[in-house]
A = this chain, B = another copy of it.
Amino acid sequence: MSVDQVVRKPHERLAAHLGAGMEAVNALIRERMASRHAPRIPEVTAHLVEAGGKRLRPMLTLATAELCGYDGPYAVHLAATVEFIHTATLLHDDVVDESAQRRGRPTANLLWDNKSSVLVGDYLFSRSFQLMVEAGSLRVLDILANASATIAEGEVLQLTAAQDLATDEAVYLQVVRGKTAALFSAATEVGGVIAGAPDDEVRALYDYGDALGVAFQIVDDLLDYAGDAAATGKNVGDDFRERKLTLPVIKAVALADDAERAFWRRVIEKGEQRDGDLDHAIALLQRHGALEATRADALMWAEKAKTSIDMLPAHELRDMLRDLADYVVARIS
């Protein structure tokens, strides 16, 4: 093991391993986000694309394709496709959530306007669609079309479910599978498909992406109540202020007495929030062990992701994908 491997984080090791491929993905993204006719498009897109996200999703596509022996040109197209879909959903999410910040920077809807975010999101979604058509595989198109529908359905479900105390863990999981896990699992599945991997390996890659995505979202939801802003870059209480019924709250509501239910109803369903409510909410989450139980769920999903790919042949990239699952939950371990 080199010094590099010891000190670098798993996603950095993955990025280093995929070096040339990820450079090609970034070049393709820059090329395709351009528009001859509408200069507003690259302005808005560059703001997001250059914002320094981890490029986790395209790395998953490149890694799974290579892991299954692919050495053709189209993994790069599919990786860029996945990043474009992700960026399009971020633009639309920020309009829907009326967000002012993402990754510590002002959102596009704040810098330009909601109109630009809606239409540039549509443009990126169309561009993603062109990229995947170029890859020329109807099976890949089917997977990505289904993933897109699942993402949109999850987002709409969240609109109605997020502020409804009747939302239980099953509905939560459905929302998370839509808004987060569907793109992770599509990213890993198409890697296997483009490589012509056997069905059971493709299934294993899908399961890995699905579980990794669920773990990723649960960690995000947990850190919103239990995180350290300096370390995670997330502000504690954003979900609370936006009245989102996330897993920790769902677990606390399930164990709430009458007074506590009245509290949750006021702050989440009615949105009547006062000073001190966030502290009280966190105290309730702690009283019922909701943060601990949420943490345990995230670890379970990360473990599930790791075991999903046990059946794949031994490979340096298989080990990196396992480490990545550990890394996703490392912030709460």
> Interface readout for A276-311 with B: 1 if CB under 8 Å, 0 if not?
000000000000000000000000000000000000
Could you tell me if B138 and A136 are in contact, using CB atoms closer than 8 angstroms? yes
Could you tell me if A118 and B133 are in contact, using CB atoms closer than 8 angstroms? no
Chain B residues with Cβ under 8 A from A122's Cβ? 89, 92, 125, 148, 151-152, 155
Complex CA distance for A141 and B126, rounded to whole angstroms: 11
Contact residue among B119, B130, B149, B155 (Cβ-Cβ distance under 8 Å from A146) = B130
Could you tell me if A145 and B157 are in contact, using CB atoms closer than 8 angstroms? no
Complex CA distance for A152 and B141, rounded to whole angstroms: 20
Could you tell me if A92 and B119 are in contact, using CB atoms closer than 8 angstroms? yes
Contact residue among B145, B153, B154 (Cβ-Cβ distance under 8 Å from A133) = B145
Contact residue among B35, B141, B160 (Cβ-Cβ distance under 8 Å from A141) = B141
A37 in the interface, Cβ–Cβ < 8 Å?
yes
For chain A, the count of residues having a C-beta within 8 Å of the partner chain is 43
Complex CA distance for A267 and B118, rounded to whole angstroms: 26
Residue of B nearest to A128 (CB): B145
Could you tell me if B37 and A153 are in contact, using CB atoms closer than 8 angstroms? yes
Copies in the complex: 2
A95 in the interface, Cβ–Cβ < 8 Å?
yes
Contact residue among B95, B120, B149, B174 (Cβ-Cβ distance under 8 Å from A123) = B149
Nearest chain B CB to A116 CB, angstrom units: 6
Could you tell me if A126 and B155 are in contact, using CB atoms closer than 8 angstroms? no
Chain B residues with Cβ under 8 A from A89's Cβ? 122
Could you tell me if A126 and B149 are in contact, using CB atoms closer than 8 angstroms? yes
Chain B residues with Cβ under 8 A from A160's Cβ? 38-40
Contact residue among B142, B153, B159 (Cβ-Cβ distance under 8 Å from A35) = B153
Contact residue among B125, B127, B142, B156 (Cβ-Cβ distance under 8 Å from A116) = B156
Chain B residues with Cβ under 8 A from A130's Cβ? 142, 145-146, 149
Which chain A residues in 31-59 approach chain B with CB under 8 Å? 35, 37-41
> Interface readout for A75-110 with B: 1 if CB under 8 Å, 0 if not?
000000000000001001001100000000000000
Nearest chain B CB to A221 CB, angstrom units: 19
